[in-house]
Amino acid sequence: MGREEYARLDDYALMERVRREDDRDAFSVLVERYQTILLNFFIRSGVGYDGEDLVQLTFLRLYRYREKYRPSAKFTTFLFMMANQVWIDELRKRRRQQKLTDELTLQPEQLSYTDPVEPHREVEARVDLTRALATLPVGLRQVVELGVYQDLPYAEIAEILGIPVGTVKSRMFNALAKLKACLTGDKGGTK
């Protein structure tokens, strides 16, 4: 089968070839189709400099778990569920690394008391959307990424994130309110 023939196949057919025949050419077409979308997902989720690494980890996980894919759900749902899990794993790893770094850098006099928490700094009135998105908590940012940028329905977002549809709606409402407040400079925005 030639490259052009692979490109004409839909995601289900490609994934089925990967699952049943270990077809690497079919897998490479899926990678080409979705690597940019996944990179944007990770960047908008706040990954920063190592987004490409997380995209690769997502595709490695997809390949490793290819046998579990069933065409009962959209391929993108399956893919984003994996990407979300890769992101969660990365956040856990970062927290562990940060905790270790913090513990190793503490001075003896800092061990006897806890520093007061710095008050939250107000976001400048005129920030761009990317910066405003970065201020959102991960849960809100993911809902915006999947709903607005990936144009997925709430039910699919709920499945990807493993939360109820009502929670998706609530998070979207809160995220949009926070973004509006941030972009308009409204200091009394939704908490």
Residue with tokens 């890769």: 86
Domains of the chain (ranges plus CATH)? 9-83 (1.10.1740.10), 125-186 (1.10.10.10)
pTM for this prediction: 0.63
Quote the tokens at residue 165: 């549809």
- pLDDT digit string, tens, across residues 31-90: 999 999 999 999 888 887 789 999 999 999 999 988 888 888 788 998 999 999 998 888
Distance between CA atoms of residues 141 and 65, nearest Å = 26
Helix or strand or coil: residue 131? helix
Distance between CA atoms of residues 40 and 107, nearest Å = 40
Q: What per-residue confidence (pLDDT) applies to 150?
A: 82
